[in-house]
Structure 1
């Protein structure tokens, strides 16, 4: 009961809307880490089909999207829109 009173004073918490990011079917071993030490969680995946390590650097919410990438795809098997705040880098 003591926690119920103390926890009620915390700031409200909520989730934002979904962010869509297309990854290849061959991606494996998802890791989350702050790769570039900017205090944001970056994603690292291994793609065995293309023999690449893909690093997805998370951009700050107020940072402009310098890549200019917003992808639409009408193929029903793929994600219809890619709008996540990540800058992609592939290492072979």
Structure 2
């Protein structure tokens, strides 16, 4: 949702208190696309445009690089499959 991700990351680093924690949640682009295609039973682009709300997508590597480039020194990237019922709702959307 942000045009200048580098500028945002730099500003977040600037205003974060020393010792503070930044939590970022973003779709894992490669995994999300594959999961949606599998659920839909056909290529994702035939079902929906995944870029409708997002200006850019990140992989674990590119997100880590963005944050480290902005000066964050302890970056941990972890996958999360969503809240309980998330996959069921995702399957319903794919129909």
TM-score, normalising length: structure 1 = 0.21
Q: Which has the larger radius of gyration?
A: 1
More helix by share: 2
